[in-house]
Amino acid sequence: MFRWGERTYVMGVVNVTPDSFSGDGLGDDVEAAVRQAVQMRDDGADIIDVGGESTRPGFGEVPADEEMRRVLPVIERLTREIDIPISIDTYKAEVAKAALAAGATLVNDVHGFLRDPEIARVAAEAGAPAIAMYNHRGREFHDTIGNVVAGLTVSVRIAREQGLPEERIIVDPGFNFGWTDEQALEMLRRLGELRVLGRPILIGTSRKSTIGNVLGGLPVEERLEGTAATMAIAIANGADIIRVHDVRQMARVARMADAVVRPETASTRVETPRRGVSRSSGQDA
């Protein structure tokens, strides 16, 4: 499915929730969700991540049957509408199993298999890769990368115990999931240290509160440039997948960053001037 190290993959976020932190929750509107996913595919998304429960601070947990009611119609439609992988964003094994049966091909667990270890077995039995995120909420802080590595090491062990091969695991350090702004920024700075885990790295900084805080309290809808900066830095530090809301812009960021950090494999093209259009001398900006 993926060829790690050759380029950065872009995961587009489709929230079928009424209370997404990012302001893009689509609620019960299946048609809107499908349109959004198709547009994301056209804008450069390699994966669509469908979620039916908000993970914002203070969110209310959604029963599995309600979560399935939200996500399954969207996944079923998307399997017919788009030709890229669909991920189910859930930590419940029951929801993951139903989503995989409906056409999803990837599981994204924000609790790293800790809340419901059976979810790793569900992925294993379906032959699907799974993303294990380190969630720092409610945990004692020792060291940013030390915490992440220790937590994800446990997630990988659980996955293997449940029959999920290590080569099908993707890790996510959980940017803004229980960290202070300073800790989140340190995590991004030291992201390359997660290579010790030997697994592909996903990062999701898109529109997060740390970006708003650093930039003087910017609201969610004004965090595009801050997101772009964090994504470029994440790619330079080894991210393999970026999880984003603004696919068109972030796909361009990924392509440009790849041209710098992965010149041997990145697909780059230098545009030449059209015939009859002169170019000024000197280095172009």
**Residue 277 confidence (pLDDT):** 38
User: Which structure tokens are listed for 22?
Assistant: 């990012």
Question: Would you say residue 281 lies in a domain?
Answer: no
Tell me how far apart the alpha carbons of residues 266 and 247 are, in angstroms, rounded to a whole number: 18
Find all residues with CB under 8 Å of 147, minimum gap 6, and list them: 134, 136, 139, 141
Range of the domain at 46: 9-261
Q: Does residue 274 form part of some domain?
A: no
Q: Has residue 4 been placed in a domain?
A: no
CATH number for 210: 3.20.20.20
Residue 13 lies in a domain: yes
What's the rounded Cα separation, in Å, for the pair 246 and 208?
A: 13
Residues belonging to the active site: 208, 243
- Low-confidence residues of the chain: pLDDT under 50: 20-23, 270-285
Question: What's the pLDDT tens digit per position in 92-103?
Answer: 999 999 999 999
**pTM of the full structure:** 0.90
Count the domains in the chain: 1
User: What is residue 265's predicted lDDT score, i.e. its pLDDT?
Assistant: 80
Residue 276 lies in a domain: no
User: How much is the pLDDT for 276?
Assistant: 39
- The conformation of residue 27, written as its DSSP 8-state character, comes to T
In this structure, is residue 179 part of a structural domain? Answer: yes
pLDDT confidence of residue 28: 76
Q: Is residue 206 part of a domain?
A: yes
In a domain, 279, yes or no: no
Handedness of CA 210, 212, 217, 220 (dihedral sign): negative
